[in-house]
Amino acid sequence: MDSRLLDILVDSFPKILIPGLTVTLPLTAIAFSIAMVIAVAAALAQFARVPVITPICRFYIWIFRGTPLLVQLFVVFFGMPKVGITIAPFPAAVIVFSLNEGAYCAETVRAALEAVPSGQLEAGLCAGLSYLQTMRRIILPQAMRTAFPPLSNSIIAMVKDTSLAANITVVEMLRATEQINARVYEPLALYIEVGLIYLLFSTVLTWLQRIGEKRLSAYENRGV
């Protein structure tokens, strides 16, 4: 490897990593947290078949799962100003990623709720718990255990998907890389470098997933 290339890689590393730590990860963390709130609420509403809310949830999920994420970003960032709503790049990305991820995770959580044996709800009611208490104390914790691996998958996918925010001028890792590349033109080396940093983030998350699963599996069969 020639020394110019090596210098470029060493020099660019912090310039890519820092937007990763200050933009990519916060974007993922904030949007995923909001998405989880949306997902649990939408899943519970559908599970309980709340009138009016349930069809609204179905509609929301239909829209956000049925259209490309990039199109959603464009509509909010480039489209909304046309109707007088101008949103800065980062908040626009937070809104879109939250709503998009919320739609997918709502389905994950709903499926997990439905996978809890129906006897659990009946037992809760017969033990003197209200419907809401049973959901909160018995059904939801079991469902979240089931949903944990697919939700971990979703957050790992999301870390990488935030690179799409580059298209609405959010200077996250990919856009930071592009800016460096525009100056030095080393696309192969630089894009591999940013790819490796994404891989590092994903690896850490995978590792956190393992730990999380271990802790959550406390009540699962450890053999009698």
Partner 1 sequence: MLLRVENVHKSFGALKVLKGVELSVDKGDVVAILGPSGSGKTTLLRCVNFLERADEGVLTFDGERFDLARMAKRDVSRLRKKTAFVFQSYNLFLNKTALENVTEGLITGRGIPKTEAIKTARRALDKVGMLDRADHYPSQLSGGQQQRTAIARAIAAQPEILYFDEPTSALDPELTGEVLAVMRQLAEEGMTMLVVTHELGFARTVSSQVVFMEGGVVVEAGPSRQIFEAPRQERTRVFLQTDQT
Q: Which of 107, 106, 112 is nearest to 143 (CA)?
A: 112
Among residues 49, 82, 183, 222, the one that binds partner 1 under rule CB under 8 A: 222
Please report, as residue ranges, which positions from 130 to 149 form the binding site for partner 1 (by CB under 8 A). Answer: 130, 133, 137-138, 141-142, 145
Angle between helices 3-19 and 173-184 (to 10 degrees): 150
The nearer residue to partner 1, 11 or 122, going by C-beta atoms, is 122
How far apart CA 121 and CA 125 sit, in angstroms, is 6
Binding residues for partner 1, rule CB under 8 A, total: 25
Binding of residue 18 to partner 1 (CB under 8 A): no
Binding of residue 40 to partner 1 (CB under 8 A): no
The nearer residue to partner 1, 3 or 221, going by C-beta atoms, is 221
Q: Is the sign of the CA dihedral 149, 68, 110, 38 positive or negative?
A: positive
The nearer residue to partner 1, 120 or 179, going by C-beta atoms, is 120
DSSP 67: S
Binding of residue 219 to partner 1 (CB under 8 A): yes
For residues 183 and 167, the answer to whether their CB atoms sit within 8 Å is no
The nearer residue to partner 1, 18 or 127, going by C-beta atoms, is 127
Please report, as residue ranges, which positions from 93 to 132 form the binding site for partner 1 (by CB under 8 A). Answer: 117, 119-120, 122-130
Question: Residue holding tokens 């996250």?
Answer: 172
How far apart CA 57 and CA 208 sit, in angstroms, is 31
Nearest distance in Å: CB 124, partner 1:
7
> Length of the chain in residues, anyone?
224
Interaction site with partner 1 (CB under 8 A): 117, 119-120, 122-130, 133, 137-138, 141-142, 145, 218-224
